[in-house]
Structure 1
Amino acid sequence: MKNAENHSLFEYKAYKDYLISLVGPRDQRSGHRAAMAKALTCQPTYISQVLYGHAHLSLEQGELLSEHLGHTSDEKQFFLMLIQKDRAGTKRLERFFQEQMAEILRKRLVLTERLGAKTVLPENQQAIYYSSWQYAAVHVAITIPELQTFTALCEHLRISKSRLTTILEFLCSSGLAKQEGTRFITGDVQLRLGNTSPNIIKHHTNWRQQAIESLERETLQDLHYSGVVSLSEEDAIKIKDETMKFIQETIKTIKTSKEEKLFCLNLDFFDVKKI
């Protein structure tokens, strides 16, 4: 039994609420309770007592059920933490587990925690790479076969020959690219900025400026959306989490997609309050 897509474990504050969202109300016959009982080698009536009564899963049962539900490592950790919180015999112990879960949720809101950090360039090379949008544009453009030559890059990105020479020399010397005959291809070194990097502001600024310029030549393939909204703090966290899921799924699609066109993806979702 896999965790349903619309039931994110991390949105729940009690493990029983989460499980009930998967199996449905007590009078609903879905077969899920029987499947859970089989996974735990117990009677279905015990599962009902846990879901709708005062009984609790043991940590050992929680671990087996987590495997049955197809949880990831992070989901299993959070699920077991929920069980420990709900089984806690004192408010102090309950608060301890709540703080532990809050820390897990906080880390999930940091993008590099979700996507995984890449090889980090030396600080001086990072400063050069993020000094202009052109470095990243050329770096990604050479993943497209039709744009791997010097002439094609010049024409597609409208970069001068002298400037492009400087960029390609840097990419090759830093390991981000390499030259094979008349073609340039990506190197073995990769990178991804975290939100604590001193270069992150420059990186975001570079590509948001390009987004603004793209408005003047917008095509049907482009998408621009801006909206100022009011919502609850809980829903704001939920939207950020769902957006990060979208980014993760998008990256999976990009990794298996044939390199044909060069696009930029910018997403902005932030608190308007001036601190």
Structure 2
Amino acid sequence: MQQAHLFEYENYREFVRDYIKTLPRSGHGQFRQLADVLRTTTVTISQIFSGKLNLSTDQALELCLHFGFKDIEIKYFVSLVQMNNSSHYRAKAFFKAELESIRKETENIEKVIPKAKRIDEKVAIQFYSDWIYSAVRLLTSIEKHQTLNGISEYLKLPKPRIREILDFLIENGLVVEDQKGNLQHNVASTHLPASSPWVKARQISWRIKATEFMDSKQYPENIFYTGPCSIDRKNFDGFRKELIRLIEKFVKLAEASTPTDLACLNIDWFFLR
């Protein structure tokens, strides 16, 4: 979702109305589609979202599936419907607490990143020790660089070094190579949990790589920004949520791309205490 952020809502009717406006043609015809999906009439749909009738739990689930919501979004929306439909204050309080718990889940970056291949611990030690391993693996997803020569030329590194890295990636199932020497990445993405001892090494490796480009005038579109500041907790948390949304959008854009180049996003947002 790009404009109507579900987890900010405490009224499902307001969310659905706002969400529909973000759809093509401003959501024209969506009430008719919802009526078909929920096996009811457009009059009933209008009454539900005007507040005269309630959406049932079954209908809430069908609506989520129709809009293609993710699991955590479905969980939140159904709980939102149950809270709005509850008449007793204890029930409302119960579902309100459930919604808050789900919101906390969404503040975990790992929740917005699709499931990816978990690399064996022994392999991770080497793979995450240097940016070059990820770079070579990613280059095998770009058609014009899917050979030893292509990768060597792109990274401006000697072929023996690239061959060594490729052998490691192939041996551990991260890249495949055919008899003609054509390369292809074997997994769309890799995953390193926040609890891994190799997280710091990976982040440092890519940040050091970023410093190599800071003085370069070759790519004026590159962005390097550092902004120390004094800030209150409310705005710190609010901006953190915006960053998580940005990361989610970034992941989706990268997945949907037909790649032609390598790029790297490094983000830090932390308290100095």
CA contact (8 A) 1:135 1:167 kept: yes
The Cα shift of 1:62 comes to: 3.3
Q: Label 1:221 to 1:114 Cα distance change in 2 as closer, same or farther (>3 A).
A: same
Name the structure 2 match of 1:86.
84
Instruction: Tell me the amino acid that sits aligned with residue 235 of structure 2.
Output: S
1:97 is matched with which residue: 95, 118, 121?
95
Name the structure 1 match of 2:181.
183
Name the structure 2 match of 1:27.
none
1:247 aligns to 2:250 (yes or no): yes
Instruction: Tell me the amino acid that sits aligned with residue 264 of structure 1.
Output: A
For residue 205 of structure 1, give the secondary structure of its aligned residue in structure 2: helix
Name the structure 2 match of 1:226.
226
Q: Label 1:116 to 1:19 Cα distance change in 2 as closer, same or farther (>3 A).
A: closer
Where structure 1 has 5 or more consecutive residues not aligned to the other structure, the ranges are 25-29
Instruction: Tell me the amino acid that sits aligned with residue 224 of structure 1.
Output: F
Q: Which runs of 4+ in 1 moved over 6 A?
A: 30-34
For residue 223 of structure 1, give the secondary structure of its aligned residue in structure 2: coil
1:134 is matched with which residue: 125, 132, 135?
132
Instruction: Tell me the amino acid that sits aligned with residue 201 of structure 1.
Output: K
For residue 173 of structure 2, give the secondary structure of its aligned residue in structure 1: coil
CA contact (8 A) 2:175 2:186 kept: yes
CA contact (8 A) 2:113 2:248 kept: no
TM-score normalized by the length of structure 2: 0.76
Alignment of 1:1-275 (within 5 A): 5-19=2-16, 21=18, 35=32, 40-41=40-41, 42-43=43-44, 46-47=47-48, 50=51, 56-63=54-61, 65-66=63-64, 70-74=67-71, 75-181=73-179, 183-189=181-187, 191-218=190-217, 219-228=219-228, 230=231, 232=235, 235-254=238-257, 257=258, 259-261=259-261, 263-274=262-273
TM-score normalized by the length of structure 1: 0.75
CA contact (8 A) 2:9 2:15 kept: yes
Q: Label 1:37 to 1:208 Cα distance change in 2 as closer, same or farther (>3 A).
A: same
For residue 51 of structure 2, give the secondary structure of its aligned residue in structure 1: helix
For residue 251 of structure 1, give the secondary structure of its aligned residue in structure 2: helix
Q: Which has the larger radius of gyration?
A: 1
The Cα shift of 1:184 comes to: 4.8
Distance 2:176 2:30 in 1: 56
For residue 186 of structure 1, give the secondary structure of its aligned residue in structure 2: strand
Instruction: Tell me the amino acid that sits aligned with residue 11 of structure 1.
Output: E
The Cα shift of 1:268 comes to: 1.1
